[in-house]
Amino acid sequence: MSGWCARSPRAFPAAADAPLTHHWGGPLAVPRDWSMAIAFDRASGIGFAGGYTGHGVAVANVSGRTLADLVLGRDSDLTRMPWVGHRSRGWEPEPIRFLASTAIVRMLGAADRHEDATGRPARRVAPAATVPAAALRANRTRAVRRSAPVTVAEAEVYATTQRAPA
C-alpha cells in the first residue's frame, strides 16, 4: 500500500483497522490561477463547471446547484460567487508548460515521500505554495466585495449548511 492509503490510518485513527477495499487516484486538473469556474451561456445552452484542483467531490454539489440557478435565471447567493463567470489565463506554451508541470508534480511527490518518511513538513514545497496562496488572496479580495465564500473550504461549508432546493 502506498500514498494516501498508507497514510490514512494516521489521518483517521478510529478507522485504522477498517480495510480499504477501493480507492481512486489520478491526474489533477489545475487552472493557471488555481481558481474554479462555473459558467452558463444562455445563447448556446451550454454550461460548465470545473477547475476544482482536487476538491471535486466536495464542490460538485455547490457547482451543480449554481449551474441550476444559472440555467433557471435565478439571482442567488450561488450565482454571485466569485468563480461564476471566472476565466483563468492560459498556461504557458509547450514545452514550458510540460516542463514546469512535470517539475511541480515531481517536487510534490518528493515532498510527500519526505513527510511520510520523517513525519515532518517538507520545506521544499514552500515556493510552490505561494502560487495557490496568491490566487486565494486575489479571490478573497473579489469575494469581500461580493460577500460570498471564497476558498474551497468555505464553499464546502456553504454547501453543507444551505438547504438544497426541493
What integer pLDDT is reported at residue 66 of this predicted model? Answer: 95
Q: Helix (H, G, I), strand (E, B), or coil: what is residue 39?
A: strand
Would you say 35 and 88 are in contact if contact means Cβ atoms under 8 Å apart?
yes
Instruction: Identify the pLDDT of residue 68.
Output: 95
Residue 31 exposed, middle or buried by CB count within 10 Å (0-12, 13-18, 19+): buried
Phi, psi torsion values for 35, nearest 5 degrees: -115, 130
Q: With bands split at pLDDT 50, 70 and 90, how would you rate the model's confidence at 165?
A: very low
Helices (H), 40-125: 56-72, 96-118
pLDDT digits (tens, 9 = 90+) for 14-70: 888 888 787 766 666 678 888 899 999 999 999 999 988 877 878 889 999 999 999
Q: Contact, 43 vs 102, CB < 8 A?
A: no
Beta-bridged to residue 37, according to DSSP, are 50
- What's the pTM? 0.54
Q: Are 51 and 63 in contact (CB under 8 A)?
A: no
